[in-house]
Structure 1
Amino acid sequence: MKLARETLSDADYEALANLRYTLRRFMDFSTSAAQEEGLPSQQHQALLAIRGYRGEEPMTIGVLAEKLLIAPHSTSELVHRLVLAGYVTRRSDPADKRRQTLELTDRADDLLRRLSAIHLTEVRDMAPRLIELLSDLQKDR
């Protein structure tokens, strides 16, 4: 971890505050969009993590827990709710019968496609401001 500078400028604090505000606005947008589709935010995050995963290992509870930064037992409960809702299926991993792989259902794919389209539009709208904020934070003041 890089050591923090001894003195921070008012501009540093302003840039950090603006970045946090912009990220929180996006997260609020994301939560609202998922809720409008009847999906809790954490379930949306899980579906996106499963769909976007391109790792060497198959998607499992452990991998999903790592991607969501939550405990494996919490991830198991989350996946259980997703299975009950018809968004995820579990299959025994042919390479290791002790673990189960996770896959999205067609229902989840349809829902995620709608949510991801509006999220990409929002990100593209916010991109210039985010780039500006990140550039401000890169400047050595």
Structure 2
Amino acid sequence: MTAPPTLRKADFEQLSEFRYQMRRFERFSERAAQDAGITPLQYLLLLHIKGFPGRDWATVGELAERLQAQHHGVVALVTRCEGHKLVERRPGAHDRRQVEVHLLEAGERLLVRLAALHRAELKSLSGTFSVPQLDL
């Protein structure tokens, strides 16, 4: 077994600053979602649907992976978003056993507004929000 790398004070400072900036952004995101009338998880669900590589929809399983959440929890989250008319489920085009989750117009409008706020906040953090480089 290899000995753990020796960390210097500067390494801890970098890690601390990274976590601080990451948490500041996360808190900004939580407030922005709540101010828009949805939960932070609902915002992330909308974002991961629209941002899924190669298409504008995702399966519940893919969303569970993106959210790092349990499948049944994502099913409940999708159900709540359906209740707000933000998303809809559709049978899979190629595999009817699969369920596709699509954004509805209201979900798209809300996501665009929130994503613009998030982009602006990230730009304001540029330079302070850098990944620490550790000598391992």
Distance 2:92 2:30 in 1: 32
Q: Which residue of 1 aligns with 2:26?
A: 27
Tell me the TM-score normalised to structure 1 length: 0.89
Q: Which residue of 2 aligns with 1:36?
A: 35
More helix by share: 1
Write the deviation string for residues 5-49 of structure 1: whole angstroms up to 9, x where unpaired.
1x1111111110110000000000000000000010000000000
3-state secondary structure, aligned to 1:39: coil
* Contact residue 91 and residue 97 of structure 2 kept, 8 A: yes
3-state secondary structure, aligned to 1:59: strand
Q: How does 1:121-140 map to 2 (within 5 A)?
A: 121-131=120-130, 134=131, 137-138=132-133, 140=135
Instruction: Give 4+ residue runs of structure 1 displaced > 4 Å after superposition.
Output: none
Q: Which residue of 1 aligns with 2:17?
A: 18
Distance 1:9 1:54 in 2: 39
Task: Give the RMSD, CA atoms, in angstroms.
Answer: 1.8
CA 1:139 to 1:71, structure 2 compared with 1: closer, same or farther past 3 Å? closer
- The number of residues matched between the two structures is 134
Gapped regions of structure 1 (runs ≥ 5) = none
Percent identity over paired residues? 36
Distance 1:139 1:17 in 2: 13
- 1:54 deviation in Å? 1.4
Q: Which residue of 1 aligns with 2:76?
A: 77
Write the deviation string for residues 65-117 of structure 1: whole angstroms up to 9, x where unpaired.
01100010101000010111100011111211111111000001110111011
Q: Which residue of 2 aligns with 1:114?
A: 113
Q: Which residue of 2 aligns with 1:9?
A: 8
Q: Which residue of 2 aligns with 1:98?
A: 97
CA 1:24 to 1:11, structure 2 compared with 1: closer, same or farther past 3 Å? same
Tell me the TM-score normalised to structure 2 length: 0.92
- 1:139 deviation in Å? 5.2
